[in-house]
Structure formats: C-alpha cells, structure tokens
Structure 1
Amino acid sequence: MIERQHLRIVSAIAQHGTMTEAAKALFLTQSALSHAMKKVENSFNVPIWRKEGRTLVLTQAGKSILSLANRVLPQFEHAEAQLRKIAEGKQGTLRIGMECHPCFEWLLKVVAPFLKAFPDVDVDVRRAFSFGGLQALHGYDIDLLLTPDPLHLATINYTAVFDYEQVLVMHRGHSLLTQPYVRPDQLAEETLISYPVEQSRLDIFSHFLTPAGCTVKDHRKIETTEIILQMVASGRGITALPKWLIDESREVQQLGYRPLGEHGLKKTLYLGHRKDSDPLGFVDAFIELALSHNNVNND
C-alpha cells in the first residue's frame, strides 16, 4: 500500500538526488527512509530508484509515484492549512489567481462584498506576471482563476462573469483618433506599451496584429496600469486595455481610444475552478457575487 510518507520520500529523492539530503529534508534517518521504501518495492516487486554514482535516479515505477505525489501532496497541504485556519477560529482563505492583469480594479469590487459577507475568511490575490494560472489551479495553489482565455479541460469549470471590449488607447492629440477604428497596419510606426508578458498572451498581438502579419515599431513593458496610462497620456506610446478601465481612469481626460478593427475586439472574463467539491462554499459564493455585481452594472 502506498502511503503519504512514501509520496513525500519519492518527492524528496527527486528533488535532492541523494538519500542523505532527502532524509535530512524530511527529518528522517537514512535507515528509516530506506526501510519505508523497501516495503513498497517488496509489495509491488519493482525497484523505485537506482543508483548512478552518488545520485539516486527514479525508475519508471518511481516516476509513477512522483506523478501521484505532485498531484496529491498539495491537496493534503491545502486541507491541513484550512484545518489550521478553522482551529484558529477562522473559516479559511480563498486564493484567487489573475491572468487578466488590468482587471484588478474590477476584482476589488467583488472582493469587498465577499469579505463583508464572510468576515472569517481571508482573500489572497496572486497576479504575478509569470503566473501559471491553470497549473496553480490544478496544483491546489489557488481556488479560483480569473482569466479572459479559458483552456477548457475536463477537470475545470468556467463561469463567464464579465464582458468587455479591448481598445487601443492613446493620448488626446493622436492622429488615429480621427479614424472610426484602427487597422493593424496603422500601428507599424507606433511604440506599444504593455504588461511584461510574452506576446502570445497579449490580445493586441494574438487577436489583432499577428493574424494580419503586422507588428509595431517598438514594444515597451511596464508592470503597473497607472504608469502605463501616464506614459500614454504623455505621448510616449499607445496601449491596449479594457474600455471600462479607461472610462474609470484618473487619466481619462488626457486619453482617447478607438476599437481594434472594424468590429472591435470583444472579450469575456471567466472565473475558473476545479470541479471537485467546495466543502466550505467559498468558491460558489464568490462566483455568485461576481455575477450579481455584473448584473447590477448592466442594469
């Protein structure tokens, strides 16, 4: 029988490569570690690892256990963290990952009533630019994923919570504001300012410029929305952002925007979550608040 300790041992061996370092990381003796894994090897009559010099290398059987460990151990850690929260008098933490970097302001409008409705629940929002949202959702590092580009998998449910239009934003004196909409070829001499993510994850490239075989003269990357808008307002470049964000910006008087293409670039924001159970009800409650917030805004 494979137990949790076996998963931890195989994971440690894969990470550290030697019996000595793995035992040290797990606060076990080498003898105890070796004895535990011998039971598994004897039960299934297969070796879990082999020696290559001083390094231990996982066999096919070991790699199979490692795959299980990578899936299951984070679930144990998440459940234990929730139990500790409950023991401290708190119900837990709702962890939200963001792949829509300019949507933080929208998210705050949902987080506020959620915190009021669940005073014993904390909210943790992760919006790193290198963030691998779907992997984090599968790995139980987050509970919800806010994304405009859902990758539909059998294990994930997505709920559409917000429709918006991505527009080209420029300073008030820009010549493109004389046009009813912007064509891809009209950006050939422009400096584009965006978040620091790869081009394939930027809608202006993946859905507008690249399909037309076009690009921009220069591409600059800045982490914060406020600085991007200030740079655009001062005539240092153009950017592509949700139209609602520009309408609510403090720089709105200095900015203008036009649709990307004759029909515009329409997007939908989704909340993704695992299809497994939500025993404390945090995920479902947050999605309901997000939907009700959107309905109020559309009335």
Structure 2
Amino acid sequence: MSQNAQYGADKDGRWKGMVDVIRDVGPDLLALQEVDWLRHWWKRRKAERALGMRIVVAPSRQLNVAVAWNPKALRHLDTDTRYSKTDMHHGHCAPRFQPLALERELPKPLVFASTHLTPYSVEAAAQEAQLLCARLYRYGGLGLGVGDINHVPLGDDEPDWTKVQAHNWASRCLRRRTAADPWRGHRLVGEVLRDGDLTDVCSHVAQRMGDFSLRQLTGKAGLIRTDQAHVTPALVPAIQNNYRRIDPGPHTDHWGIAFSLDLDSVDTSLAPDYA
C-alpha cells in the first residue's frame, strides 16, 4: 500500500483516521509520504504501535518519506537512503527485506522504496526518477518504487486542465507555443521509468483485465494518477489482479493505492547480475 498523508496530519488529528484505513487494508508493506513527524523516534514508536508495524524513515530536505512493514511477514535486512537528502526534494526510503514463509527463499533482497518526486518541475522529477531506478536495481534487481510520483503517467487520459491549479500547468504540462494552445501533460517522468525497464502496476493490471477504470486519479486537487507503483522485470510475473484505490475519506488529499504480489512467482532469471 502507499499513502500520502498530506502535510500536518499529526497536528490536526487526520493521522488517527488514516491509521484506521490502513489497518482495514492490512498491508505487509506500506509506503508513506509527507510524514515528517515520524523522524522523531518517540512519535515513530507511537505510530508503530498504532499500525502494528515497524517503521523506518529517510532523511529529507522537505517532508520525510517512510516505509512500514509487518515483521511477521518480512525480515528487515538494511535500508538504503543514499542521496535522499542531498539529491532529491523529498527523498526516498528503500529498505531491503527477505520475505518469510515462501516456498523458496529469494536469492536476492526485496527492495521496497517509498518515494515522493518533486512536484515543482517535471524535468527535475525526471532526474529524481533516474536516481530511483538506480537504487531499485542496486541490490540485485528485485525492486518496487512506490509513492507520490507527482506527474502524468504514460497511457493515462488527459485531465481537464482547466480545473487544475495554474502552478500545475507550469510543472506538469508541455510548454505551449502560444497562450491559445491547449495544455497537455508532460510524460517525461513516465518515459524515464519505462526506459528504466520498470512496469507501472496499475497500467499492467488494467491492460490485463481490460478494465481501464483502474487508471483513476489519486491526487484530489491535481486530477491525475500521481500515486503509482513501478516494479522491476523480475517482479512483473508476481503482480496479482487486485490493484485498487483506497478511499482515505477526509483524512488526506490523496487516495491510497494497494496491490498484491505473489512472491513465489518472482522470476529471478529476469534480475540483472550487475549492481
């Protein structure tokens, strides 16, 4: 599961409502964005008790990202946050795990990266996406990049840009030759992720099931599917047909997303040998 908590959720009580939603879903892995208060160890411990999960938080210049996991399902090996604070606006948190109770132990660690690409420039976000690709492949090629990608995915319909705030025209759209030209989404971040040989889980399931309603928006204000999950080739055979949006009610300005992987179906022959 992934959920952007929207800044200030710890101060106005919204986090408590989100915890209830998350517990109803019951994910084994949870990517969180805009959870800066969790950098304090005592607040992190309180959140762990509320969720019934363990949590690791990445350093960040702006609004920390985090990953929570079910310790009964996954053994935590280590966490990669390299370049998170120095080279990314919000950062990435990429713990590595060995899943428990599989028919066969994975020969390489499972990397689950929570990330939040910069909303202010598609070109800058594309550079962050390039960095994310490298971190997902760094430990053997079993990687998931999950979170608030912030830019228009490949294959999704254009939103009604007239209903979107003007600053999003500047950051998410192609440049116009004249003021009379229509706005069109800039798909550069999606192109980078595709060229990193990553698969968009939502798009993959929608295509396989013939249900393109799955490509619904997740950003309530920006009107695009900002929240996304992308996996490396070895994990594509493990994608199950249950991708869905999670309704957070009034507790945040982003819908959550959730999906399942059958990790016994991981094809490690598709994982690269290079690091």
Which band: TM-score by shorter chain? Answer: under 0.3
Question: Structure 2 length as normaliser, TM-score?
Answer: 0.25
User: TM-score when scaled to structure 1?
Assistant: 0.23
Structure ranking higher in helix proportion: 1
